Structure 1
Amino acid sequence: MQSFIEDVITSCIEEYDDLSSVAFIVPSRRAGSFLRTNIAKHLEKSIFSPEIYSIEEFISYLSGLKQASQTDQVFALYQAYLKITPPKDKESFSIFYGWAQTILGDFNEIDRYLVDHVSFFDYLSAIQDLNHWSKQQETTSLVKNYLKFWKLLPEYYQLFTSILLEANTAHQGLIYRKAAEDIEHYIENNTTKKHVFLGFNALNTSEQHLIQALLATGNSKIYWDAEKHFIENTAHEASLFMREHQKKWPYFKTHPFETVYTHYTKKKEITITEVTQGLQLAKYIGNHLATYSQEQLNETVLVLGDETLLLPIINALPKNIKNINVTMGIPLRQTPLASLFEHFFTLKKEHNQKGFYYKNVITLLQQPLIQKLLLEQAEQIIHTIQQVNTIYINKTDLQEMLALTTLPESLVILFEIWEDNPVKAIDNCLSLIYILKNTLDPSQDALNLEYLYGFYKTFNKLVTLNNTYSYIEDIPTFIRFYRDTISSETIDLQGDPHQGLQIMGMLESRLLDFKHVIITSLNEGILPAGKSTNSYIPYDLKYIHKLPTYQEKDAVYAYHFYRLLHRSEHIHLVYTSATEGIGTTEKSRFLLQLELEGIHSIHQIVATPAVAMNTLPVQSIHKTAEVIQQLKKLFASGLSPSSLSTYLRNPLEFYYKYVLGIQELDEVEEIVAANTMGTIIHNALEYVYTPYVNTMLTVAHIEAIETKIEPVVKAQFDQIFKSMNLSRGKNLIIYEVIQRYLMNFLAFEKQCIQQGDRIQIIQLEQQLKTPLVAAQLPFPTHLKGTADRVEIRNDEIRIIDYKSGSVQPADLSITAWEDLLLPEGKYEKAFQVLLYTYMHYKTGGISFPAKAGIISFKKLKNGFMPFKFDKDSNITEDTLLEFEKVLTGLVCEIGSEEVMFKQHTSEIGLN
């Protein structure tokens, strides 16, 4: 089947003797490239190439004006705003910028549709008056200023237009208006020139005016890629504009409407695929294209409904695709460098008198390009921040972290303070680009260097604009302007437009035909876009002045969608069904229309990732010679209560932590963690009770200790945390809770003394180490640990362990010795206090009977909770000898070569 371009070329060759004298006007540059290639294929002799214009190029040529950049337009509009607006009503550039883009869009539309701006703005101002009409006699100053703004719009428009024209530039709409006004002059000077328009659909008023003027000369033609099925169906939005043109243009009263086809009604194979979300869509497209041959790929177009999926889809393409051509280019805002600069801006914006916030510092230093720049210095800074628990970092801190007297240039650039100065910010960003450029290797980092050059141009553009206009006065405005600039800047990709897979947006597909068509993101709100609009012009006013509303915009996309299907043979349409947003996950009505038409063979597929439902094996670690060697070292250095409790809870965790030495990652504590809270309580109690060791405690002693609690706790916080904010938030609550815990404990001690208890502290935080001797042990073993407190209370020895968390008496009560070894460490607290008691017994530090237990600060009403065996809390020598059997069995299991480290311990036999 011939493409539409080939049909037009065949017709033109038959009609015109020499195509060199013909000017072809097409919807886009891409279409012009395909047209030129196809003309060359159909000619039998060499000729001078005909003139081929995109419609925008042709109109720019007619007007003689150069299009101003969006940024130049914003500044020109602000100039007009400053000149016309009364001084007391003027807003800063940052506030003005918030609505300027929308106003520019409306100006552009008014001009493209040749609307009389005077009457139009009168209408708009009257509408605003009605909207803010009130029975109250006095209108607020805010409403008065608002209505005054709408009345000044005609003056803004006229002065803005004059400023642009003085520089021989214009916005797109003004270029269109000027071209329409000058078309008669062009015709007078080109009486013999032939013009051929092809592939158009929706035309604004300016385009319609100049095309009709050229058609009226008699030496111009227009070819439509129309389908009979849609033209005759007056309710179908795909033919909305063509029916209007056919009905209203005087030209078609005496000339045929060329050309109308019947390709669409030929039965086609259409596959509609549902995927759950965007990244899965990219993977699905990659897997689907892997089945295509090279010949098929040369005839395939991939149309992206959602162009933000370009990079994921490129990364998901299979290896069999050697050649691709991407029409749209990669937007700068989607490149990895955009993420780097966003983190860079966040670091600078959130800087305060204390320094740079640690999370922002770490996030920036973890960026791949920053890691290449700083090498090991990045990891050293991150490690120190986490180790020292630094929340805010300044340059002095960085010098101390790296043991340097002065910082290297790279760190000076990264941590320069902007002081709300946009000039300084732009210079700083350019310095970062220069130093990154010198770091990257052109042979390995070609793509990153290309991205870097794109950002270099962006920041230089901001330098030029700011030097010219000086409207960017603060950092928020600078960042906003930067974001708008990179949203329109792209990195152009090179490719052969006539070979390999073609990837494009919907509008780039105009006039082009492909055998294999894949269209993605066919969801309501994307294709079609729906009621999304960015305009201050009300719907009714647009309708009266024949400006496009969302209905016309949907009709544009309907035409392009269906036109892609006209001559294609294999069609693959993909939509997402994820529930992430509002309105964006509903299946497109274009798909529902295809299903309801019943013309084509439609196959419905739900694509899901392959999930292997494999049962994970129970993880187990064999004890190799190297593991046994590590265990020997561990046993010789000493097994602590916490290490043995870890084994009872999870042998694998014991293996990772104590055999391999894998520790938890250090993280900065902004909010005091539970274990740190416990450390502060232990340290504070040791400090305040140390002067009274081996002294019989009195009420006076406790009252003296109470006066020291607040400064001691504050000192502990200062020692553990640098620059911790204790004035508000959760840390203030935790700070107060710790003090409350300690004061409640002291009140409990005082009450006990008042009730007649005689309390003498013997040891505080005593470090213990003793050998464990038994014939069956695999190798020499020591036990070690630190008991929180040993006291004599009413002539009875007590070994006490403090717990800041919740502990219940049942956690310390067993009925059989085997209970201590239950899986997942059910009685690990009982095991711990017995182990402390056993070590004191072996070092000769206690007499019998004794008690061992826990004081829980969260359950202080329970007081001292002792270990109990069969409801008896007294610990005798026989008790500890029975425990020794349990302990020896456990240690033997840990050291046995036959017993693997598994998720749960097996039952241990007692000797």
Structure 2
Amino acid sequence: METFIRLIAQDLIHRFGTNLRDVTVVFPNKRAGLFMNQQLAAVSGRPVWAPRYRTISELFDSLSDFTRCDDILSVCELHRVYAALVPDPESLDRFYGWGEIMLSDFDDIDKHLADPHKLFSNIQSIKELDHSDFLTPRQEEALKHFFEDFSIEGNSRLKEKFLALWNRMDDIYATFNARLKEKGMLYEGALYKDVAEHLAERTDRIPADMTYVFVGFNVLNDVEKRLFSYLQKRGQALFYWDYDVMYVGEKSRFEAGTFIRQNLKEFPNALEETCFDNFKNPPRIEFIATTSENAQARYIPQWLDSALTEPEQDTAIVLCNESLLQPVLHSLPDATSPHPVKRTNITMGFPMTDTPVYSFINALLSLQTDGYDRDRRCFRAEQEKIVRSHPYAALLEEQDIFCPHAENHALLVYIRSLLEGLAAAFGQQKDRKDDVYSQLYHEALYRAHQVISRFIRLTENRTLDVQPSTLRRLLRTVLGTTTIPFHGEPAVGLQVMGVLETRNLNFRHILMLSVNEGMLPKAVNDTSFIPYHLREVFGLTTIQHKIAVYAFYFYRLVQRTERITFMYNIATDGLNKNEMSRFLRQLLAETDFPVELKILQSGQAVPADNGMEAAKTPEVMDILRRNYGSGQPSSRPLSPSALNAYIDCPLKFYYQQVAHIRQPKDPQNGLDNALFGTIFHEAAELIYRKLTERNPVIRRQDIERLLEGGETTLLPYIEASFLKNFFEGREDTVFYNGQLLVARKVMASYLRQLLAHDSRMEQFVLEEMEQEHHRSVDIISDGHPLSIDIGGKIDRMDTVRMPDETTGQEVETLRIVDYKTGGTPEKAVSMEQLVQPAEHRPSYIFQIFLYAWVMTGEQKRPVSPALFFVHKSNAEDYDPTIVFNRERVTDFSRFKEDFQKMLQGVLEELFNPEIPFRQTSVPKICAYCDYKLLCGR
């Protein structure tokens, strides 16, 4: 394989010999220079005086009298000009998005040397076109098409603002450029234009004996063409275009040759056309369809087994979707693999957004803006928890983190000081030198410090004067586009890169991932103030230009390789269906290249759906007996909720109770259903303790007197419960946001419903609330007797008068009440139904029956189980008493033996070492399970 870089190296040595000090090689990007040096040395076979390497951007900078202005400063300066010229201007906060678009448009105008006055002419109606003799007929037609929807009579507020801006755009452009020039700065397009228009005056910066070699360009804007022409006329330019005659021919319909055809006419190639007929011997091409992005990364070791070249740098993995970088890195074979990759060179940068530094800064920004209550002068619990849970918070002093900073400059200085504190903490750690992620995270800290310092300078001189919310958005945007470079020897090892990094480079074997429509060509943001038709007639960049550019990248990568594998995702994502790239379809439809079509499938056969299971090893059985066996020092009662988990899915019980795998609570989830129920229970307990502080008998008039005060009388109890259970007892963090205010309102309504229902009784005796009760049951486990403690915390027990089932006379009954703030009432007709896994198994009834069974062992009074669904209790005839087999259960004693027998059966199965913890056979039970990802459901 003769690479493009090698061909150029051969030609340069032929033309100039080994002394290339008077040669400047100009590339679209930096990377190719390293490979050029390598090839110059290889071709000459002796020491070479290497040429000077520059990117096109660096060349323009060297020819300019101005420094380049960064985008943030440019937009801020642009806003000052806009505010002075446009009536009723928007603030910088609201303007910033417009400013970015406007700056991009100005940049495009300048790079294409378009006439801004003609483009931004003040045309408010079609009639004015009669006097627009400075426009070509095509431009006139485009302007008519643009303005036909902007009738002055029917203008909306948005159209009026747009027209007001458009009508002053020419003035804004001119004043903005003049303002920057006064400061000695220009944005990129304006700097390029200034160089192009004053080339004759900059001869001192273009040495007469210097030859400029332009390598591997494709689409040229007008300023680049003017520079190329100027140097060409002076006899100081050579041009090396990379292409293939297959797509550059005059009759070719391939987008890849759109710009190269024109370039070859204006700036002839220094190499013969015979060097560019590689597709006459097409490479081995594979198309592999996959059902996920990660599956592509997991395929890498298998592909490398047959494709990794010697030397390794002749093999490349190209990522169209750069977010796959982490899965790809984790998939590369290491030294322990049968076919390890010795060296890896990662060309693309690691995204800042995937580093802990970014998430920490993000958390700090939220803490200091949304997370701080200015009126109450305290941080809100939700944002504070997020910061405290971040691993970097443990490396800093708490008082340094949790101090408020409202003003932008102070906020940025605060973040920078914390980053410096982290740097000091990192310096004391002994990280492994071969830990690539540790090095990356340290570099990320340095880059973040640079970005924050830049923002500090902009706020110090009031250039960036925006609201904290806008500052936060801008900072996130800048950090979000920041990448962290990998350090290493670029020309050594397996190459991992993005599509743009492949320019000018060739590889023998290539694996290209995510070759999907929307990834290649990349879905581009075509946002602009300049409508498409105007962009087209004034020669500005359009989406067709961008597609043609990606087409060129695609085909030039294919044309000099021996083997190339394209992988693409065919999975359907909601309403969106993934499709292979249009360039792959073009290969199939418009070439006769041999293509192997494959589908990536799992190498394992699909097992029978017996479900996952965990064996009851001697160690597991020992844990069960120690945890729940009566008389064991560390034992605890086996709770109804744990038994419900076992009945629904034994494997869930194993994860929860044996392996102790817990789903971590996400502070951002706020008040979930379980916590709402906890707060309600606590508030109800506080209210009833108040009602019974002198007498356990609660009378109707006591409740009615409490209800007369409305919600006001209930709020202290609710807020006391919130303080304990939600705000964790910290009064300085108490703040009721929208969600909590709604929850407090709903809770007050529920408590009123509970009290109103209880007031229907003349009186009752409150026996207990939120107290633990348990009872032992004897079983046989592994041939030996075993006693198990069963029980838990009962929400409420009270004594009421209920009719006896045989005599009909009212008798004192101990009622076991379990509050439910969600769910629906259940029905059951048999004991087997309570323990048979099913989608709608009556698990609430099982739970309250277990409590009733526990209490029947403690006393002789009738025990009646009740499930009080608070949100259903408004109905006049609502009765919380359990209905079992169509009968109200007012005395559980007649069910206790059947229940105990059934319970013993469940426990003997649980403590049987021969029966493993199996996955449930009812898939719908898994829908909301915390462990479904572990089970693959």
TM-score range, shorter chain: 0.7 to 0.9
What does the per-residue CA deviation read over 1:532-589, in whole Å, with 9 as the maximum and x for residues that have no partner? 3132222222221222211122111111210111111011112223444887833211
Q: TM-score, normalised by structure 2?
A: 0.77
Contact 1:800–1:855 under 8 Å retained in 2: no
**350-359 or 29-38: which moved more?**
350-359
- The alignment partner of 1:177 has SS state of helix
Instruction: Tell me the distance in 1 between the aligned counterparts of 2:892 and 2:11.
Output: 111
What does the per-residue CA deviation read over 1:349-369, in whole Å, with 9 as the maximum and x for residues that have no partner? 222245434333333222232
- 1:49 Cα deviation after fit: 3.0
Contact 1:690–1:764 under 8 Å retained in 2: no
Contact 1:618–1:903 under 8 Å retained in 2: yes
Alignment of 1:699-718 (within 5 A): 703-704=704-705, 707=708, 713-718=714-719
Task: In structure 1, list runs of 5 or more residues that go unmatched.
Answer: 375-409, 751-758, 906-911
Indicate yes or no: 2:498 matched with 1:505.
yes
Contact 1:328–1:505 under 8 Å retained in 2: yes
- 1:706 Cα deviation after fit: 5.3
User: Which position in structure 2 is the counterpart of 1:322?
Assistant: 342
- 1:692 Cα deviation after fit: 5.7
- The alignment partner of 1:42 has SS state of helix
User: Which position in structure 2 is the counterpart of 1:164?
Assistant: 180
**645-654 or 188-197: which moved more?**
645-654
Instruction: Tell me the distance in 2 between the aligned counterparts of 1:36 and 1:895.
Output: 71
**How many percent of aligned residue pairs carry the same amino acid?**
22
Indicate yes or no: 2:185 matched with 1:173.
no
User: Which position in structure 1 is the counterpart of 2:391?
Assistant: 368
- The alignment partner of 1:122 has SS state of coil
User: Which position in structure 2 is the counterpart of 1:6?
Assistant: 6
Instruction: Tell me the distance in 1 between the aligned counterparts of 2:188 and 2:26.
Output: 18
Indicate yes or no: 2:276 matched with 1:261.
yes
AA aligned to 1:170 is L
- 1:679 Cα deviation after fit: 5.5
User: Which position in structure 1 is the counterpart of 2:730?
Assistant: none
User: Which position in structure 2 is the counterpart of 1:67?
Assistant: 68
What does the per-residue CA deviation read over 1:228-264, in whole Å, with 9 as the maximum and x for residues that have no partner? 21122432111111222345x3x76x99985762102
AA aligned to 1:463 is I
- The alignment partner of 2:816 has SS state of strand
- 1:450 Cα deviation after fit: 1.5
**Among candidates 336, 340, 355, match of residue 335 of structure 1:** 355
User: Which position in structure 1 is the counterpart of 2:691?
Assistant: 688
Q: Identify if the C-alpha distance between structure 1 residues 896 and 484 changes in structure 2 by more than 3 Å, giving closer, same or farther.
A: closer
User: Which position in structure 1 is the counterpart of 2:322?
Assistant: 307
Alignment of 1:25-44 (within 5 A): 25-43=26-44
Instruction: Tell me the distance in 2 between the aligned counterparts of 1:894 and 1:357.
Output: 48
Indicate yes or no: 2:204 matched with 1:211.
no
Indicate yes or no: 2:312 matched with 1:280.
no
Instruction: Tell me the distance in 2 between the aligned counterparts of 1:238 and 1:164.
Output: 38
Instruction: Tell me the distance in 1 between the aligned counterparts of 2:687 and 2:787.
Output: 36
Contact 1:132–1:143 under 8 Å retained in 2: no
Quote the RMSD (CA, aligned, Å): 4.5
Indicate yes or no: 2:171 matched with 1:155.
yes
User: Which position in structure 2 is the counterpart of 1:837?
Assistant: 856
User: Which position in structure 2 is the counterpart of 1:443?
Assistant: 430
Q: Identify if the C-alpha distance between structure 1 residues 790 and 499 changes in structure 2 by more than 3 Å, giving closer, same or farther.
A: same
Indicate yes or no: 2:858 matched with 1:854.
no
**Among candidates 382, 396, 402, match of residue 415 of structure 1:** 402
What does the per-residue CA deviation read over 1:590-645, in whole Å, with 9 as the maximum and x for residues that have no partner? 00011123432212222245566363465564685665455132699996985897
Contact 2:778–2:786 under 8 Å retained in 1: no
User: Which position in structure 2 is the counterpart of 1:297?
Assistant: 312
Instruction: Tell me the distance in 2 between the aligned counterparts of 1:527 and 1:316.
Output: 23
AA aligned to 1:364 is V
Alignment of 1:176-575 (within 5 A): 176-185=192-201, 190-218=207-235, 220-232=237-249, 233-247=251-265, 249=266, 261-285=276-300, 287-289=302-304, 291-293=306-308, 295-319=310-334, 320-351=340-371, 352=373, 353=375, 355-371=378-394, 373=395, 410-419=397-406, 421-440=407-426, 441=428, 443-444=430-431, 445-529=438-522, 532-575=525-568
Contact 1:688–1:708 under 8 Å retained in 2: no
Contact 1:231–1:242 under 8 Å retained in 2: yes
Q: Identify if the C-alpha distance between structure 1 residues 70 and 688 changes in structure 2 by more than 3 Å, giving closer, same or farther.
A: same
AA aligned to 1:237 is E
AA aligned to 1:122 is S
AA aligned to 1:4 is F
AA aligned to 1:840 is Q
Contact 1:433–1:452 under 8 Å retained in 2: yes
What does the per-residue CA deviation read over 1:319-344, in whole Å, with 9 as the maximum and x for residues that have no partner? 12332333332343443321221222
Instruction: Tell me the distance in 2 between the aligned counterparts of 1:458 and 1:222.
Output: 38
Instruction: Tell me the distance in 2 between the aligned counterparts of 1:870 and 1:580.
Output: 47
AA aligned to 2:356 is P
Indicate yes or no: 2:755 matched with 1:729.
no
Contact 2:243–2:276 under 8 Å retained in 1: yes
User: Which position in structure 2 is the counterpart of 1:585?
Assistant: 578
Instruction: Tell me the distance in 1 between the aligned counterparts of 2:333 and 2:703.
Output: 75
User: Which position in structure 1 is the counterpart of 2:57?
Assistant: 56
- The alignment partner of 1:243 has SS state of helix
Bigger helix fraction: 1
User: Which position in structure 2 is the counterpart of 1:85?
Assistant: 85
User: Which position in structure 2 is the counterpart of 1:753?
Assistant: none
- 1:650 Cα deviation after fit: 6.8
**881-890 or 422-431: which moved more?**
881-890
Task: In structure 2, list runs of 5 or more residues that go unmatched.
Answer: 126-142, 335-339, 432-437, 724-733, 803-808, 921-937
AA aligned to 2:528 is S
Contact 2:767–2:798 under 8 Å retained in 1: yes
Q: Identify if the C-alpha distance between structure 1 residues 148 and 33 changes in structure 2 by more than 3 Å, giving closer, same or farther.
A: same
Q: Identify if the C-alpha distance between structure 1 residues 871 and 70 changes in structure 2 by more than 3 Å, giving closer, same or farther.
A: closer
- The alignment partner of 2:260 has SS state of helix
- 1:8 Cα deviation after fit: 2.9
Alignment of 1:673-822 (within 5 A): 673-674=676-677, 676-678=679-681, 680-681=683-684, 684-685=687-688, 687-688=690-691, 693=696, 703-704=704-705, 707=708, 713-722=714-723, 723=734, 725=736, 728-747=741-760, 749-750=761-762, 761=765, 763=767, 778=785, 788-792=797-801, 796-805=811-820, 811=828
User: Which position in structure 2 is the counterpart of 1:391?
Assistant: none
Q: Identify if the C-alpha distance between structure 1 residues 599 and 412 changes in structure 2 by more than 3 Å, giving closer, same or farther.
A: same
Contact 1:528–1:588 under 8 Å retained in 2: yes
Instruction: Tell me the distance in 2 between the aligned counterparts of 1:642 and 1:184.
Output: 89
Instruction: Tell me the distance in 1 between the aligned counterparts of 2:540 and 2:640.
Output: 76
User: Which position in structure 1 is the counterpart of 2:132?
Assistant: none
User: Which position in structure 2 is the counterpart of 1:396?
Assistant: none
Contact 2:68–2:187 under 8 Å retained in 1: yes
Contact 2:779–2:907 under 8 Å retained in 1: no
- 1:500 Cα deviation after fit: 0.9
Q: TM-score, normalised by structure 1?
A: 0.80
What does the per-residue CA deviation read over 1:789-835, in whole Å, with 9 as the maximum and x for residues that have no partner? 23456562322122434897964x76xx9999878776554454354
Instruction: Tell me the distance in 1 between the aligned counterparts of 2:367 and 2:40.
Output: 56
Q: Identify if the C-alpha distance between structure 1 residues 625 and 707 changes in structure 2 by more than 3 Å, giving closer, same or farther.
A: same
- 1:195 Cα deviation after fit: 3.8
Contact 1:709–1:743 under 8 Å retained in 2: no
AA aligned to 2:85 is T
Q: Identify if the C-alpha distance between structure 1 residues 21 and 143 changes in structure 2 by more than 3 Å, giving closer, same or farther.
A: closer
Instruction: Tell me the distance in 1 between the aligned counterparts of 2:389 and 2:296.
Output: 29
What does the per-residue CA deviation read over 1:417-476, in whole Å, with 9 as the maximum and x for residues that have no partner? 222x10111011012102211222453144322111111111111112222343333212
User: Which position in structure 2 is the counterpart of 1:595?
Assistant: 588
- 1:690 Cα deviation after fit: 6.8
- The alignment partner of 2:511 has SS state of strand
Contact 1:308–1:334 under 8 Å retained in 2: no
- The alignment partner of 1:322 has SS state of coil
AA aligned to 1:416 is C
Q: Identify if the C-alpha distance between structure 1 residues 502 and 581 changes in structure 2 by more than 3 Å, giving closer, same or farther.
A: farther
What does the per-residue CA deviation read over 1:304-332, in whole Å, with 9 as the maximum and x for residues that have no partner? 22333334423332212332333332343
AA aligned to 2:63 is L
- 1:497 Cα deviation after fit: 2.5
